[in-house]
Structure 1
Amino acid sequence: MPVKDPLIETLKVCILQLQAEGTVTDSSPHLATCCELLELILRKGLQQPVLSLTHRDYWYCFEQLLQHDTCGRLSAVSLAVQKTTACPKLLTAQGRGRFFIRLMLAKRTLENAVKHVLHTGRVMEWYSPETSVLRNEKFVEPFLSLCLVLSEIKFKLNIENCSFLDESWLLPVCETYEAVPCRELGMVLRYLDGRVFVLELLHGGMAQVDMFAEPGDIIDEINGISLRNSSNGQAGVVLSRLKGQPLSLRLLRWRCKDGAMYRPLVPLLRQLKQENPLLQFSSAPQPSPAAQRQSQSQSQCVKEGRILYALQLLGKTNIGMYGGKEVLQHAIPAVLRMRQNSKEVLLDVKETHMTCTDKSNKQQLFQHHFPEISCVGRFGQPDFTIFAFCVVDTPDTGQPKGFCCVVLQATSSTECEELVHRIAAGFKNTEWFV
C-alpha cells in the first residue's frame, strides 16, 4: 500500500467540496480550510536558520523568486510577489503568505508558483528532505496535481479584504461606502492595535443619517489610502487632506453575515465596551430561523464578554499511555463507532483553561487547563465539524493514568476551525489537522 500524507489526503477531500460549489467566494465554508491546508503543506519541513533571530516562513520562499529571477520579472507569479510585498495592510510574513495564496487562487496560478519554488535550488535547501512534502517524490506530484485542480476552479475573492490575514484566515465582512463631499462624517474614532474603530456616531451626522457605519466597525481605507497600523489622528489627517472631495470608505464590519460577532475582534471590542459601556455587541439580529440555529453559539451564548460555543459532546474514550496528535486519526473514529449518547453542551474557552457544561441543567462536565491537553485536531470525514482533544485521564479506579480522547461536534466548519485554533493556541506546539 502506497504511503499517503494526511495533509494531502485532507486537501483532496476539501477540493472536492470546493468543486461542488462551482464559483468559490469568501463566504464559502470550505475556503478557509483549503487555504490553511495549503499553508500547512508549504510550512511542513521548513527548517529554521541556525544563527538567526528571524523565524523563516513559507512566504520567504516565494519572495526569493524575485531575487533569483526564476519566473521572469513580468510573469503572473512575479507580479503577484511584488503586489504582496507592496501591500501596506500586511505586517507579518504569515499575513503576506496568506495574501499570496489567496492571490494565486484568484489568478489560478498556484501550480506555477509552487513549480518555480521547486526549481529554485537555493530555496529548496530550506526544506528537510525527511519531513517536507515538497522534497518527497511520492508526495510532491500528488500535491502539484491538486494545485492544478485548484487552478481549474473559479475563485471570486475580495483580495483587498486582507487586513486580518496577519491574525486569521477568517475574514470580516468588507463593504465600501461612497460619500458625497461633506464638512464632517459625524463619527468619534478610537485607535486600537493599529486599527481605526468607530466608537460613537454623533447625532445628526452623516454616518448616523445614512446608517453606513455603526460602533465597532473599522475604517480600513479612505479613498484607497490604507489605515492599517495607523497612529492616533491619522484618519483625521487623511480626511482633512481630502476635504471637499467625494469619499470612498472601505469598512470592516464587526458583525459577520449571519449576525454573529467577528471573533478575531472580540478582545478589541471588549476594550471599546470598557470605554463606552452603552455599546451592545451581542444583540445581533438573526436573519432566518436556519441562520439563527447555526449562529446560536455565537450570537446568543455570550457570558461576561466571552463567547460560549454550543456544541455536541459525542463521547470520549481512554487511548492508553500515548497522547500525541497521531492517535487522533484512530481515536476519533473509535469514539464515533461507540455511538455514545451525545449531549448538548456549552464550551467556554478561557485564557488558561476551558470548561464544559451541560446545556440542559448547567452541570459542569469537565474543566481542563491547557497544560493537561496534549493535542487537538479536526476530523475530515464526512465533514469538518468534528474535532477532538487528548487530555490526561485520571480514572476513578486504581488503574494507571493515561490519556483520554474527547470528541465534540461544532455547528459549522468555520466554528470548528476557530475552536481548534483557540485550544491549540493554549499550548502552541501542535498541528491542527489529522
Structure 2
Amino acid sequence: MPAKDPLIETLKVCILELQAEDTVTDSSPQLASCCELLELILRKGLQQPVLSLTHRDYWCCFEQLVHLDTCSSGRLSAVSLAIQQTTACPKLLSAQGRGRYFIRLMLSRRTLGNVVNHLLHTSSIMEWYSPNISVLRNEEFVEPFLSLCLVLSEMEFKLNIQNCSFLDESWLLPVCETYEAVPCRELGMVLRYLDRRVFVLELLRGGVAQADMFAEPGDIIDEINGISLRNSSNGQAGVVLSRLKGQPLSLRLLRWRGENGAVYRPLVPLLRQLKQENPSLEFGSPLPKPSVQRDSQSPCVKEGRILYAVQLIGKTNIGMYGGKEVLQYAIPAVLQKRQSRKDVLLDVKETHLICTDKSNKQQLFQHHFPEISCVGRFGQPDFTIFAFCVGDTPDTGFCCVVLQAASSTECEEIVHRIATGFKSTEWFV
C-alpha cells in the first residue's frame, strides 16, 4: 500500500467539499481550512538559513521566483506580476501575511497549479526544503499535491482580495463592507489609533455617521477612497480626509462582529484594551435613532431601509426663492388646491430620496439632497403634514412638495432625516 501524507489526504477531503459549491466565496465554510492546509504543506520541511537572523517562510520561496524570472527572460511573467502586487500591498506587514495574500490571489486567478509547478522546477529554491520531511521533495507525495493544486485551479473562486488587513494574524477574515458618502463637512466620529489601525470609538450625535448608522464603536476604518489606513500613525485618517475635502467618500470598514454575530476573534485583545481605556464604551450599542411609535401601516422595510408609507397631498411652484420662510404660505396654498391625494412610499436614502406610487410602484420623483433648499412640518391644523422645497428649473424656480405622515412622531422623524441629509451633503467649492 502506498504511503499517504495526512495533510494531503485532509486537503483532498476539503477540496471535495468545496467542489460541491458552484463558486467559492469568503463565506464558504471550508475555504479557511483549505488555505491553511496549503500553507502547512508549503511550510513543511522548509529549512532556516544558517547564521541568519531572518526567519524564512514559504513566501520567501515565491518571492524568489520574480528575481529568477527577471534574470532569465528580462520581462515579468504573470506569476512575477502577482508577486510584485503582493509585495506592494500596504496592508501586509509580515511574510506570513504576504504568503496568505498570494495564495488567495492565485486561487482567484486560477493559477495556483502553475505557480506550484514553477516552484517545483526551480532547483535553487527546492534546496531550501528538507528531502526527508518536505512534501515538495517527496516523490510519492508531490504528484498528488500538484494534482490537487491543478484541481483548485479549475474551480471558480470569487474572493475579496482587498479584505487582507488581518492576514498577518489569521486566515479568518472580518466582515468587510464599503460605505459611500457624499461630500460633507465632517463624518462625526471619534477615532482611536491602536495597533496601527483606526478604530471607531464613538459616533457623535447629529453627525453623518450617527444619522446613517454605517459604523459602530469597535469597527475599523480600513480604507478611505482606496487609501489604506493599515499601519497608520496618529492623525493619519484626519490628514486623508482633509485632502479629500469636498469629494465623495468611499469608506471600507472592517466590522468587529463576525458573520455569525459574535466578536471577530483576532479583535478580542484589541477591543478589550479599548474597553479598559474607556470603561463606558459599549460595543454594538451606537447612539440610537429617535424612538418613535409606529403606525401599523407605516413604515415598511426594503433592503434593510425604512420606507415610509405617507400621502402625497400635492405640490406648487413658489417662485425664485426657496427659503424655509416660504413654507408658512406654500403649504396652505397646496392644501387649498385640494389636489388628488396619493398613497406613496418615501425612501430616504443616504444621498437622495425617492417617492413611488404605493399601488403600482411607479416612481413619482427623485431628488438628491443638494437640490433641497428647506424642509419643515406644518403646525396647523395637523402636525403630521410636512413639506420640502426643491429647485425645479432655472426658469420656474422652486417647487414646494407637501406630504402627510401617519403620525406626528413619524412626521418629525422624516423631517429630521431629510434635514440631516441635505445639510450633510452641502457641496464644497
Match among 218, 239, 252 for residue 216 of structure 1: 218
Deviations 1:56-98 (A, max 9, x none): 0000100000111179644321111010000000000000000
1:53 Cα deviation from its structure 2 partner: 0.2
1:275-424 map, 5 Å: 275-281=277-283
Residue matched to 2:32: 32
For structure 1, the residue ranges without an aligned partner over 5 or more in a row are: 285-434
Aligned equivalents of 1:142, 1:18: Cα separation in 2: 18
Residue matched to 2:395: none
- SS of alignment partner, residue 20 of structure 1: coil
1:12 aligns with 2:17: no
1:51 Cα deviation from its structure 2 partner: 0.9
For structure 2, the residue ranges without an aligned partner over 5 or more in a row are: 287-429
1:231 aligns with 2:224: no
Is the 8 Å Cα contact of residues 180 and 249 (structure 2) preserved in structure 1? yes
Aligned equivalents of 2:169, 2:42: Cα separation in 1: 18
- SS of alignment partner, residue 221 of structure 2: strand
Aligned equivalents of 2:242, 2:124: Cα separation in 1: 49
Deviations 1:222-261 (A, max 9, x none): 1111000111001111111111111110000001122111
Identity %: 85
1:18-417 map, 5 Å: 18-69=18-69, 73-281=75-283
Q: TM-score, normalised by structure 1?
A: 0.64
1:206 Cα deviation from its structure 2 partner: 0.3
- SS of alignment partner, residue 219 of structure 1: strand
Aligned equivalents of 2:284, 2:177: Cα separation in 1: 21
1:124 Cα deviation from its structure 2 partner: 0.7
Aligned equivalents of 1:260, 1:279: Cα separation in 2: 17
1:276 Cα deviation from its structure 2 partner: 2.5
Aligned equivalents of 1:103, 1:280: Cα separation in 2: 37
1:115 Cα deviation from its structure 2 partner: 1.0
- SS of alignment partner, residue 105 of structure 2: helix
CA RMSD of aligned residues (A): 1.5
Aligned equivalents of 1:233, 1:136: Cα separation in 2: 52
Aligned equivalents of 1:140, 1:131: Cα separation in 2: 12
Is the 8 Å Cα contact of residues 216 and 285 (structure 2) preserved in structure 1? no
Is the 8 Å Cα contact of residues 91 and 164 (structure 2) preserved in structure 1? yes
Aligned equivalents of 2:127, 2:114: Cα separation in 1: 19
Is the 8 Å Cα contact of residues 261 and 282 (structure 1) preserved in structure 2? no
Is the 8 Å Cα contact of residues 261 and 281 (structure 1) preserved in structure 2? no
1:282 Cα deviation from its structure 2 partner: 7.3
- SS of alignment partner, residue 160 of structure 2: coil
Q: TM-score, normalised by structure 2?
A: 0.65
Change (3 A) 1:283 1:227: closer
Aligned equivalents of 2:117, 2:151: Cα separation in 1: 15
Is the 8 Å Cα contact of residues 84 and 99 (structure 1) preserved in structure 2? yes
Q: Which contiguous aligned blocks of 4+ residues in structure 1 show a shift greater than 3 angstroms?
A: 70-74, 281-284
Aligned residues, how many?
284
Residue matched to 1:367: none
Aligned equivalents of 1:59, 1:215: Cα separation in 2: 35
1:283 Cα deviation from its structure 2 partner: 7.9
Aligned equivalents of 2:279, 2:28: Cα separation in 1: 35
1:139 Cα deviation from its structure 2 partner: 0.6
Is the 8 Å Cα contact of residues 58 and 97 (structure 1) preserved in structure 2? yes
Deviations 1:264-290 (A, max 9, x none): 000001111123223333789xxxxxx
